[in-house]
Amino acid sequence: MALPRLHSAELVLFAAAFLAGAVVAAAVFRTQGTFNGQCPVYGTTSWNHSALSLSSSSAPSLCYFVAGVSGLLALYGLLVVFYWTYSSCLEDSHRSPLGLRVSLGLSAAAAFLVLVSSCILRFGTKSLCASIMHLKIVDCCSDAQKLRWEPPRPGLHFYSTLYTAEASSWVSLVFWCLLLALQLLQWKREAPPYRPLERGDPEWSSETDALFGARPSRP
């Protein structure tokens, strides 16, 4: 049984969000590994006339949070795609209203977490680059990748990797916002239309009976 168009478009966005989230998680883990397990975002650097070094860093849990959120949301998107692709091959594949509301809540939470992660990468990288530029040894932050770092080679491609993580995180946020909007549209379409009560409706009779008392039956 084929899925509705809006639901199929939703799965495409889930697949795109999976790819973007996987890139973010891989880039953050790679950067943290480059700095020997230290989290360079919001870090400060020092220059000893021959090499750069990361004099202070953020708690490793900060990078773990960004990478973990991106990785888990990417896994969630992949599982959703696999589940509904498999379900579409079955005869009775339909998402219940409760399932749509759960998906809507999860997408809203995912969009919020990705927004937080994107801001961490944005301002954390900006803070690290500001520390490097304060040393006045390079003209731009990306040039610091060409310098020697202590211990040997910890800063190689750090800027390019963090930039990739940040850009992918903002792209992931766009996908999750589109997912949220698409699910809201489906929820609005599936919600029963509001119709005011009329005199002939059973609900109208029960309401008026509760307020004014039941009318005596005619003999």
User: What tens digit of pLDDT does each residue of 181-216 get?
Assistant: 999 988 887 755 444 545 555 544 544 444 444 445
Strand, coil or helix: what is 196? coil
Considering only residues 62 and 190, tell me which one the structure prediction assigns the higher pLDDT: 62
Check residue 192 and give its pLDDT. Answer: 54
Residue 219: cis peptide before it, omega within 30 degrees of 0:
no
* Partners of 47 in the β-ladder: 52
Considering only residues 17 and 199, tell me which one the structure prediction assigns the higher pLDDT: 17
For 53-61, what is the mean pLDDT?
90
Rounded CA separation 112/124 (Å): 18
* Partners of 56 in the β-ladder: 44
For 78-91, what is the mean pLDDT?
82
- Does the structure show a pLDDT above 60 at 125? yes
Check residue 208 and give its pLDDT. Answer: 44
Considering only residues 1 and 36, tell me which one the structure prediction assigns the higher pLDDT: 36
For 104-126, what is the mean pLDDT?
95
Rounded CA separation 147/137 (Å): 10
Check residue 157 and give its pLDDT. Answer: 86
Q: What is the residue whose two structure tokens read 């992918």? A: 168
User: What tens digit of pLDDT does each residue of 134-167 get?
Assistant: 988 889 998 888 888 887 665 578 899 999 999 9
Helix (H) / strand (E) element for 44: namely: strand 39-47
Check residue 92 and give its pLDDT. Answer: 60
Lowest mean pLDDT among 61-65, 118-122, 214-218: 214-218
Q: Where are the domains of the chain?
A: 5-212
Check residue 15 and give its pLDDT. Answer: 95
Q: What is the pTM of this model?
A: 0.81
Provide the pLDDT confidence category of residue 63 given band limits of 50, 70 and 90: very high
